[in-house]
Amino acid sequence: MKLLKLIKASYILTFILVSSGCSLIFDDRIDDYLKEKESKPLKISSDKDIRPIVDFYPLPKESKDSTEKLYEVPMPQQVFSSGTSNEVRLHRLGEIRWIYVETLPSSVWPIMKDFWGANQFGMMEEDPNAGIIQSKPLLVGNLQTKLIMKIEHGIRQASSEVFVSHVFKSKNEEWIRLTGEDNLEEKVLLSALDFLSESSSSGGTSLVALNLNIGQKAILKQNQNLSNFIELNLEFPRAWAAVDRALKEAMITVTDLDRDKGIFYVDFTRAEEKGFVRGLFSKDVSSRGTFKIVIKKIQENKCIVTVGGDNEDSRVFERDLLSEINQSLS
């Protein structure tokens, strides 16, 4: 019994020693740095080659003008997602038709491969880097034809556009678009539209087609003068139609337009955003005025969209209008 009590006492003593810290056993040197004295600087002989000392964190030199100038931090580029509605619809502009899909091209690619494998035309070639799928040869009358599908990034963020061309081989061995009643583009697009609508939106992403996710057709940018504009990688007819549709979708009133000059005149109202405290002591302020939206062709497949206000007060809201247009583009 005494032996058991002795063992318990030894355990308790060991626990007390450990919990009280190492200072009871070892010499505590935590305050030794206070006893240190400054020594003389190290002298290096000038007749020996030494490596240069590089200051990786240099302090900027003082400038008299640096404190006088104010620097305005530009607003970050606004990016809009296409939402979560997974919308699929058919667009038409003249003779051009395409499918708009609210998902990335890398997700559309495997679905369209399944589409070509299941339909009557079959799939002969595929190029995931270019987003091109070609059907097997089709004989239309005496013409050797084929169908070519092109999958591209859409105008909105995380969206896709699907195009189909029906071409035939000419006498010069060139592939030319087939016209007339024998053209199968609309028929194939409608079938692809139904296939996309019935397919699951969570079908996965093709790793070999990730390059197709690069190349958004609408980008909100800012130039050196801090003026904002939208860069559209589209030909002028499509750029005009896209902005026209965006204005209608955003319910912005168009008072006049001039397609030849690429100009929309719109009325736009925007309330000034305030903080809680400021809102208690001031009335609501809003800007309403006429704005001019200009679509200018830069290259064959590139246009820019700019916005201008009719007075100084309305110019504050030019970026807001441009953002509304950018958000509604499709």
> What confidence tens digit (pLDDT) does each residue in 249-296 have?
888 889 999 999 999 999 887 655 555 444 544 445 455 678 899 999
Question: pTM of the predicted model, to two decimals?
Answer: 0.65
Do both 127 and 145 map to the same domain?
yes
Res 318: pLDDT: 81
In the block, residue with structure tokens 């035939």: 168
Confidence check: pLDDT of 160 > 90: yes
Contact 318, 311 (CB under 8 A): no
Q: Are 229 and 319 in contact (CB under 8 A)?
A: no
Nearest-angstrom CA–CA distance, 296 and 306: 8
Range of the domain at 299: 218-328
Q: Are residues 162 and 274 in the same domain?
A: no
Q: Which among 166, 182, 212 is the end of a domain?
A: 212
- Tell me, what's the pLDDT at 128? 92
The percent of residues in the chain predicted with pLDDT above 70, rounded, is 70
- Count Cβ atoms within 10 A of the Cβ of residue 169 and give its class: 0-12 exposed, 13-18 middle, 19 or more buried: middle
Q: How many domains, in total, are found in the chain?
A: 2
- pLDDT at position 68, please? 55
Give me the CATH number covering residue 226. 3.30.530.50
Average pLDDT, the chain: 80
Co-location of 197 and 223 in the same domain: no
- Whether residue 109 is found in the same domain as residue 203: yes
Say if CB 128 and CB 209 are below 8 A apart: yes
- The answer, yes or no, to whether residue 142 has pLDDT greater than 90, is no
The first and second tokens of residue 34, run together, are 């206070």
279, part of any domain: yes
In sequence order, the 6+-apart residues with CB closer than 8 A to the CB of 298 are: 304
Residue 247, domain member (yes or no): yes
Residue 176 forms part of a structural domain? yes
Radius of gyration (C-alpha) of the chain in whole angstroms: 34
Of 145, 177, 212, which residue constitutes the final position of a domain? Answer: 212
